[in-house]
Homo-oligomer: A and B are copies of this chain.
Amino acid sequence: MYIKGVNLGNWLVLEKWMSPALFEGTTAEDEYYLPRQLSKEVYEARIKVHRSEYITERDFAIIKSYGMNAVRIPVPYFIFGDCEPFIGCIGELDKAMNWAEKYGLKVLIDLHTVPGSQNGFDNGGLSGVCKWAQQEESVEFTLNVLEKLSERYAHAESLWGIEIVNEPLTKAAWDTFNIMERYKAVDPEMAAGSAPVELDFLKDFYVKAYRRMRKYLSEEKVIVFHDGFDIYAWKDFMREEEFKNVVLDTHQYLMMAESDGCPQEKEAYVEYIQKHYETAVEEMQQYFPVICGEWCLFNSQACGCDTKGGQSVLNGIEGAQTEAYSEEEKKDIYQAVSEAQLRAWHKGSGYFYWNYKLLLDTVNENGWIGWDAWDFGKCVAHGWFQDEIEEQN
């Protein structure tokens, strides 16, 4: 089965830029600080309404009608409701599994955050802190969550698989992301000692996780690991007979290509995609089925300004004040990068677009021109998403 999917990001794991109203009246930049700046009642009211409205049954019907066959659902480590002050969301995931079954979609459950954070990103839940791998208790907690998820959904028809942990930040990308600068920690003491996740630790952790998950998951269900932004590091990994149906997940964004020096123009993006993404996916597909679990059409050229690696007004980058291109020109740029990326993923086993949906307002709020390319629904509505290659296959 070739995976054509979308991420349901910002539903059970929040990102401020995707739904700013949830964070209104606070200075919180991430999910960790949100409940710490609101009363218990208000936090609960906001979160519950958000969860009940952001993704519902109708979205599964719509995603299916877009020709997709899967969704990747990011979930937080507090999903089981055992980490005050957070509110669990296993009930929402239960419902989603049933919606997926009704509409014939497969689900990849993706553990997107862990205590202490595996990457220090805002979407890791705790900006500027990356200490999970150093905290034995947090690591054990994570394994336990993975085990419980595996047990709960082992027999769910809609379960495609479970991803061990999203985007652990290894040395290979630590400097590129420059997280200690880009995501300033609120509490320097908590952040002190943050460091890249060691590859050796990560490999060992993945093996442990695999074993505890396979106890419950039959071999038809995939177990997915993220490459830690170091896709070539896994050639000697899990080569043993023991490991069945393991999928490698790599995330590739054009903003990372830009940080890597790719010129901000259509032809250069297409060339970069061929040279780097396509090559990497093709090569690693010899070792594991490879999916690109996160990607999108977003790029600085279509924004009409250098986003310096995907930074927005929330990071103090102004953004364009007017559209730099006509609708037709934008469509041309997006279709080109869409086609090139889909071609690259086709060397592997599939993809999940990031993200199915976001709540940006490019009309009434300054600085967001071009950012709606992150929104799959908008890409389809505008005809930016070029899926002809998909249809040939």
Contacts and interface: CB of A to CB of B under 8 A. Distances in A.
Interface of A: 19-22, 24, 39, 41-42, 45-46, 48-50, 52-54, 56-58, 61-62, 64-65, 94-95, 98-99, 102, 357-364, 372, 375, 377-378, 380-382
Total copies of this chain within the assembly = 2
A50 B53 contact: yes
Given A49-B45, A53-B21, A58-B375, A65 B380 contact: yes
Contacts of A56: 359-361
A251 to B, nearest CB: 23
Contacts of A22: 49
A52 B361 CA distance: 10
A357 B377 CA distance: 15
Given A53-B54, A53-B359, A364 B95 contact: yes
Contacts of A19: 52-53
A372 B42 contact: no
Nearest to A376: B58
A359 B48 CA distance: 14
Given A41-B45, A58-B357, 10 more contacts: A41-B41, A46-B46, A49-B49, A49-B50, A50-B53, A56-B359, A56-B361, A65-B380, A94-B364, A102-B363
Contacts of A49: 21-22, 45-46, 49-50, 53
Given A41-B39, A49-B22, A58 B372 contact: yes
Contacts of A378: 58, 61-62
A37 to B, nearest CB: 13
A302 B22 CA distance: 38
Nearest to A100: B363
29 contacts: A19-B53, A21-B49, A21-B52, A21-B53, A24-B48, A41-B42, A41-B45, A45-B45, A46-B46, A49-B49, A53-B53, A56-B359, A56-B360, A57-B360, A57-B361, A58-B357, A58-B358, A58-B359, A58-B360, A58-B381, A61-B377, A61-B378, A61-B381, A61-B382, A62-B378, A95-B361, A95-B363, A98-B363, A102-B363
Contacts of A98: 363-364
B64 A381 contact: yes
Tell which of A45, A98, A364 has the most Cβ of chain B within 10 Å.
A45
Nearest to A49: B49
A335 to B, nearest CB: 16
Nearest to A57: B361
Nearest to A19: B53
Contacts of A41: 39, 41-42, 45
A65 B383 CA distance: 9
A57 B20 CA distance: 14
Give 10 closest A-B pairs by Cβ, nearest first: A21-B52, A45-B45, A65-B381, A61-B381, A49-B49, A42-B45, A53-B53, A95-B364, A98-B363, A56-B359
